[in-house]
Chain A
Amino acid sequence: KAGVTQTPRYLIKTRGQQVTLSCSPISGHRSVSWYQQTPGQGLQFLFEYFSETQRNKGNFPGRFSGRQFSNSRSEMNVSTLELGDSALYLCASSPRGRDSPLHFGNGTRLTVT
């Protein structure tokens, strides 16, 4: 079974631009979550989608948004990029959510210059 696939692996953007990251979950998994990893803050929850609906959202500004499609694939968008948005963005999927472990992709490394 293929794992969680995230594209692209690396991205360099300049301040003020916007970016879209993509995630394909494990086949059959309906829950997709996004996390931001930075050296100072560790792994921080961004949001979770289940059956195309946002089920939970972390403490990030509205510049961070996402969506999930009917095939469970998900995208995350960050608008008006800031230097502090430089991070590893991780997508994770699970079959149903509660009490099932998240399976992570290898992430997208975003650098904002």
Chain B
Amino acid sequence: DQQVKQNSPSLSVQEGRISILNCDYTNSMFDYFLWYKKYPAEGPTFLISISSIKDKNEDGRFTVFLNKSAKHLSLHIVPSQPGDSAVYFCAAHGGATNKLIFGTGTLLAVQP
């Protein structure tokens, strides 16, 4: 049972435009959400997180939106740069542990 889903395996965007990556979850106990970026042959790099008590968190070009009623979160990257090309994973956890449940990832390609 896939509790965290990223339904778009890939996304292509022009440099300078907005990239929007989406993620859905099914477990209402999740209360902390994260986005990671991963280049080939490297480990995931933490980008941004959001607690369930918020609906938006910004960090530079990255903004994460959380819609708890829809069990949906999204990552906006503005403006997109070629160096942003990577696989993006959303992840969630809830309860007393630090166990993260990851989505399957979205490959973002930013075209120059």
Counting contact residues on chain B (CB < 8 A from A), the size range is 20 to 34
Q: Identify which of A13-21, A66-74, A75-83, A100-108 touches chain B.
A: A100-108
Residue interface bits B31-64, CB-to-A below 8 A is 1, else 0? 0101010000111111001010000000000000
Q: Which residues of chain B have C-beta atoms less than 8 A from A104's C-beta?
A: 36, 43-46
Interface string of B68-112 (1 = CB under 8 A from A): 000000000000000000000101000011111111110000000
Q: How many A-B residue pairs have CB under 8 A?
A: 62
Q: State A43–B36 Cα separation when bound (angstroms).
A: 12
Q: How large is the interface on A (under 10, 10 to 19, 20 to 34, 35 or more residues)?
A: 20 to 34
Residues of chain B within 8 A (CB-CB) of A102 are 34, 46, 98, 100
The distance in angstroms between the C-alpha atoms of A49 and B99, with both chains bound, is 11
The residue that A106 contacts in the complex, of B43, B89, B91, B99, with Cβ under 8 A, is B43
From A4, A55, A98, give the contact of B43 (CB < 8 A).
A4
- The majority secondary structure among interface residues of chain A is strand
Q: A42 within 8 Å of B by Cβ?
A: yes
Residue pair A43, B46 in contact (C-beta under 8 Å):
no
Shortest distance in angstroms between B87's beta carbon and chain A's nearest beta carbon? 10
Partner of B98, one of A4, A56, A58, A107: A56
A50, B105: Cα distance in complex, Å: 28
Can you name 11 extra interface pairs (CB under 8 A) apart from A42-B104, A50-B98, A103-B46? A33-B98, A33-B99, A35-B102, A43-B100, A48-B99, A90-B44, A92-B43, A101-B34, A104-B36, A104-B43, A105-B43
Can you list 7 A-B contacts (CB < 8 A)? A33-B100, A42-B102, A43-B89, A56-B97, A94-B98, A102-B34, A103-B46
